[in-house]
């Protein structure tokens, strides 16, 4: 089964802010590129099988059906939920952030 991926405007905005921060504040183009490539790989995997990813560690978000996918070799996670055959990507956050408050 192939799942439809919907990336919310908020998730796109958060990713743009993060990439801009890495590029212009940290001046680390390779890290920004690695982040974007990692996110694209996760999107592909979500379309194939979103249930391969863990439930959110936060008990409240977990109870609401939220899942998380870790960007390889980075401390960022994508938060998403699955509704039938649609995957909604809600945001990307640093693992140490209180992302529950930002969703």
Q: Could you tell me the CATH number of the domain that includes residue 94?
A: 3.30.2310.20
**Domain range for 81:** 4-101
Side by side, which strands form the sheet with 54-55?
4-7, 86-94, 76-83, 66-70, 54-55
- The answer to whether the CB of 52 falls within 8 A of the CB of 78 is no
> Which position has the token pair 């890495």?
22
Domain count, the chain: 1
List, for residues 34-78, the tens digit of each pLDDT value: 999 999 999 999 999 999 999 999 999 999 999 999 999 999 999
Whole-model pTM: value is 0.93
What was the pLDDT predicted at 52?
Answer: 98
For residue 94, give the nearest of 82, 72, 83, 78 by alpha carbon: 78
């Amino acid at each position: 089964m192939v799942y439809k991926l919907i990336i919310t405007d908020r998730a796109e905005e958060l990713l743009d802010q993060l990439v801009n921060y890495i590029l212009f504040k940290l001046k680390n183009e390779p890290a920004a590129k690695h982040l974007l490539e990692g996110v694209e790989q996760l999107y592909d995997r979500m379309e194939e099988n979103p249930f391969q990813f863990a439930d959110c560690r936060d008990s409240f978000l977990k109870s609401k059906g939220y899942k998380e996918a870790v960007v390889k070799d980075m401390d960022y996670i994508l938060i998403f939920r699955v509704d039938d055959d649609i995957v909604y990507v809600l945001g990307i956050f640093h693992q140490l952030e209180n992302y529950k408050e930002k969703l």
